[in-house]
């Protein structure tokens, strides 16, 4: 999720005038994630839910039911809140813990339902993924990423920077840099807007 900045930060940011007139974080969010993009995610995620549900013994369990638009927005709201609270490094069990977690999460949905939707989340069609993966190592998110980039117009001043994104999972291009605090990760070459401090694009 791109950082939500104050409206006046955008006012002097060259071509980023598309958010002028927005008065709430929700209105800014829609500028980056328009309804047509959310509808695509919603449609493909429900396709994956059907596939996963058919593998379950108790298919009538509420955990495995189809997403509604309200439920999908609620799920996105939880993800945004994890970023705002800096909880995005926690496991879902820690997030929803009655003793240590945030009551907001469990008031929206159960931990099992959240984890199931997270597992089913899709940004494109599985039917064409097998062919695309031959030329795109980031096929799982590239469709979403490209559309978000297309919705942002940077100012006339960009700077190039590198970052090692800490990651120890299975990945064909994970690298090891011994002098870094987090030694394993994915190296990103980023183009950042020097006026809004927004990461405009990146190449892993």
pLDDT in tens, 52-75: 999 988 888 889 999 999 999 999
Confidence class for position 5, pLDDT limits 50, 70, 90: very low
Strand segments, DSSP code E, in the chain are 158-166, 175-176, 184-193, 199-203
> What is the pTM (predicted TM-score) of this model?
0.74
Is the CB of residue 71 less than 8 Å from the CB of residue 105? no
**Nearest 5°: phi and psi at 143?**
-65, -45
d(C-alpha 80, C-alpha 102), whole Å: 13
Is the CB of residue 95 less than 8 Å from the CB of residue 111? yes
Q: What is the pLDDT of residue 17?
A: 54
Confidence class for position 170, pLDDT limits 50, 70, 90: confident
Question: How many whole angstroms from its chain centre is CA 102?
Answer: 20
Direct distance between the N- and C-terminal alpha carbons of the chain, in angstroms, rounded to an integer? 18
**Nearest 5°: phi and psi at 159?**
-130, 150
Q: How many CB atoms lie within 10 A of CB 145?
A: 14
């Amino acid at each position: 999720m791109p950082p939500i900045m104050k409206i006046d930060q955008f006012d002097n940011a060259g071509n980023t005038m598309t958010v002028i007139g927005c008065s709430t974080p929700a209105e800014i969010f829609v500028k980056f994630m328009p309804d047509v993009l959310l509808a695509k995610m919603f449609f493909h995620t429900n396709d994956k839910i059907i596939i996963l549900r058919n593998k379950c013994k108790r298919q009538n369990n509420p955990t495995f039911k189809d997403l509604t638009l309200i439920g999908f927005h609620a799920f996105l709201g939880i993800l945004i809140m994890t970023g705002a609270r800096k909880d995005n490094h926690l496991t879902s069990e820690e997030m929803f813990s009655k003793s240590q977690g945030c009551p907001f999460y469990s008031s929206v949905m159960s931990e099992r339902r959240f984890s199931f939707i997270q597992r089913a989340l899709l940004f494109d069609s599985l039917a064409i993924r097998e062919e695309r993966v031959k030329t795109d190592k980031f096929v799982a998110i590239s469709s979403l990423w490209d559309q978000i980039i297309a919705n942002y117009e940077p100012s006339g001043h960009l700077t190039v920077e590198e970052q090692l994104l800490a990651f120890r999972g299975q990945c064909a291009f994970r690298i090891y840099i011994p002098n870094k605090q987090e030694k394993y990760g994915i190296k990103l070459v980023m183009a950042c807007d020097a006026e809004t401090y927004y990461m405009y694009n990146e190449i892993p």
